[in-house]
Structure 1
Amino acid sequence: MALLKWLLLIVAIYGGALTLVYIGQRSLQYHPDKTRTPPAMAGLPSAEELELKTSDGETVVVWHVPPRGDKPVVLYFHGNGGSLAWRADRFKSFTADGTGLVALSYRGYGGSTGSPTEAGLIADAQAAYAFTAARYPAERIAVWGESLGTGVATALAASQRISRLILESPFTSAADVGAKVYWFLPVQLLMKDAFRSDERIGKITVPVLILHGSADTVVPFGFGRKLFALANEPKRFVRLEGGGHSNLDQFGAQNAIRAFLYGG
């Protein structure tokens, strides 16, 4: 009888944990900085801040740095944490040679309305793409996704005309990453926003660059390799030896991306 009571207690505790994780999963998945910081104040005076309407009625912020001449324009999707302001130094460095930029602040992040969900972030990406495609031909639009943004970038690239796709620290799916962290929970069954890049990347036929740090402890290196194996040719994989998850510029990420954009 005592053993049965212990088993029932364990089941009750486990069931309670499942319920809490299911209800609160999006607060675990998304970590927005909601502060709206103008690009000039963040250190990117070359950028214009604009507001776009999404198909479901939200208002999202983008930073736009026009390209010089006929240089490409990078449509940038950031990761699950922070805001565009956190990445201003990266944008300043990358656009210094005249490369254009359209960087999206997802719903719920940095001045954008709403709350993040997978469907919502993809709708935001579609709005940012429409803005970009109205100004530049598809042959000049490259899409760059960072971490969680690789799921957004892959979804967009599977449905829209672009020239190239850059995936930095990507996963096969967000559910796979979650299952590795919460190995004791049925994450694959519980997760609402799975971002199944493994199911979408096969629809992409433009050149793909995947970069991954060998010491990434957030999205393990092996996930990037698995996604690369699923991608169509032409494709290129860059292993950044010693690189972690959020420090890849220190290991040559921008150089590899410029070579991809300009080197064929």
Structure 2
Amino acid sequence: MNVDVYFILTVVTVAILAIGIFIYLFQHRFFFQPEKLPPDFKFAYEHLNAEEMSVSPESGATISYLHFHVDEPKGVVLYLKGNTKSIKGWGKFAIDFTRLNYEVIMMDYRGFGKSTGRRTSDAMKRDSQFIYNIAKKLFTEDKIIVYGRSLGSGFAARLASKNNPRLLILTSPLYSLQRTIQRYLPFMPAKPFLRYNLPTFHYLKNVRCPIKIIHGSDDRLVPINTAVDLSEINPQLTRLYVILRAGHIDVHQFEEYHRVMEEIFEERKVFIDAEKTSLSYSHRKD
């Protein structure tokens, strides 16, 4: 092998390893941007009845969550939030479901808000299942809706694949953390350096309930093609809603998002008589 080629390959290999080690050591700062709250912080929301709760799913870990109550609830939404801040700010989004007469349970991941414990993907998966089990004690599974937004979509999809909720809703979902890294570093073999494993696409293969995916057409952080790819994994159960002009963090600021939400929760089932539609028509036969 030519010495110059060998030298170039060596430099490239060393550079990739260096970047890989950097990704391994600091990916938690990219994936998780927590806001920590003092133990005496009081949650308060206008027009919402929030009850603060905490549980210890295992030794050395405490999970803080909010339970938003409504009178005569139709069911409960288990809300898995994004990767920033805490339920202090995310809690206000509960109104999108309480207005439809659904209670909401919203947890803080480890290291967020008042939650404590060593943060790993496996631990966070166990935590979300622990909270799901709490919801099952309050409501039958046919009244549980799992909602995941952004990073929370992975945890939500996993819960739906391991349990039997009525519905799974994903807003601005990630395909996987691996694809997220490779979007910015396409030359990197990201998988060997990943400490957090959250393959939304894999979990969707085993979901048995209806899947609703909501995504902004102008999302630059997680492009719309991500939602299209996810919608094709389990197409018989999936419907994709595109919110025109919406981005990643402002999708809820569009009226269409809330109209879509009402349609999803009303869950109108329409029978299609194939003989009275163009379902069987083909231009190729004409």
Could you tell me how far apart the structure 2 residues matched to 1:175 and 1:146 are? 18
* Structure 2: 5+ residue stretches without partners: 269-286
For residue 238 of structure 2, the aligned residue among 207, 225, 235 is 235
* Structure 2 counterpart SS, 1:257: helix
Could you tell me how far apart the structure 1 residues matched to 2:213 and 2:7 are? 49
| Alignment check: 8 A CA contact 1:205 1:233 kept | no
1:195 shift after superposition: 0.8
| Alignment check: 8 A CA contact 2:60 2:117 kept | no
Match for residue 219 of structure 2? 216
Superimposed CA distance per residue, residues 90-130 of structure 1 (whole angstroms, 9 cap, x where no aligned partner): 22343234321001111111100024321122111111111
1:56 shift after superposition: 5.5
Match for residue 225 of structure 1? 228
1:262 shift after superposition: 1.9
1:232 shift after superposition: 4.8
Could you tell me how far apart the structure 1 residues matched to 2:15 and 2:238 are? 47
| Alignment check: 8 A CA contact 1:74 1:100 kept | yes
* Structure 1 counterpart SS, 2:154: helix
1:72 shift after superposition: 2.0
Q: 1:14 to 1:199 in 2, by over 3 A?
A: closer
For residue 19 of structure 2, the aligned residue among 14, 17, 20 is 17
Superimposed CA distance per residue, residues 14-62 of structure 1 (whole angstroms, 9 cap, x where no aligned partner): 432322221222222111111254321x556511000012146511011
Match for residue 261 of structure 2? 257
Q: 1:31 to 1:143 in 2, by over 3 A?
A: same
What residue identity is the alignment partner of 1:22? Answer: Y
Could you tell me how far apart the structure 2 residues matched to 1:112 and 1:162 are? 25
- Structure showing greater radius of gyration is 2
| Alignment check: 8 A CA contact 2:61 2:118 kept | no
* 2:157 is the counterpart of 1:118: no
Could you tell me how far apart the structure 2 residues matched to 1:56 and 1:225 are? 40
What residue identity is the alignment partner of 1:146? Answer: R
Could you tell me how far apart the structure 2 residues matched to 1:138 and 1:70 are? 14
Could you tell me how far apart the structure 2 residues matched to 1:4 and 1:209 are? 51
| Alignment check: 8 A CA contact 2:20 2:190 kept | no
Q: 1:44 to 1:82 in 2, by over 3 A?
A: farther
TM-score (norm 1): 0.91
* Structure 2 counterpart SS, 1:134: helix
Q: 1:38 to 1:2 in 2, by over 3 A?
A: farther
Match for residue 37 of structure 2? 35
Between the two proteins, the alignment pairs up a number of residues equal to 263
| Alignment check: 8 A CA contact 2:87 2:113 kept | yes
User: Which piece of structure 1 moves more, 159-168 or 79-88?
Assistant: 79-88
Could you tell me how far apart the structure 2 residues matched to 1:26 and 1:239 are? 30
* Structure 2 counterpart SS, 1:54: strand
User: Which piece of structure 1 moves more, 178-187 or 221-230?
Assistant: 178-187
1:170 shift after superposition: 1.2
Match for residue 181 of structure 2? 178
Could you tell me how far apart the structure 2 residues matched to 1:231 and 1:11 are? 38
For residue 152 of structure 2, the aligned residue among 149, 153, 157 is 149
Aligned alpha-carbon RMSD (Å): 2.3
What residue identity is the alignment partner of 2:154? Answer: G
What pairs up with 1:58-73 in 2 under 5 angstroms? 58-73=61-76
Could you tell me how far apart the structure 2 residues matched to 1:211 and 1:191 are? 27
Could you tell me how far apart the structure 1 residues matched to 2:48 and 2:112 are? 20
* Structure 1 counterpart SS, 2:232: helix
| Alignment check: 8 A CA contact 1:125 1:156 kept | yes
* Structure 2 counterpart SS, 1:124: helix
Superimposed CA distance per residue, residues 132-177 of structure 1 (whole angstroms, 9 cap, x where no aligned partner): 1111111111000000100000111111121100001112212111
Q: 1:89 to 1:114 in 2, by over 3 A?
A: same
TM-score (norm 2): 0.84
| Alignment check: 8 A CA contact 1:166 1:257 kept | no
Superimposed CA distance per residue, residues 54-74 of structure 1 (whole angstroms, 9 cap, x where no aligned partner): 146511011001243241210
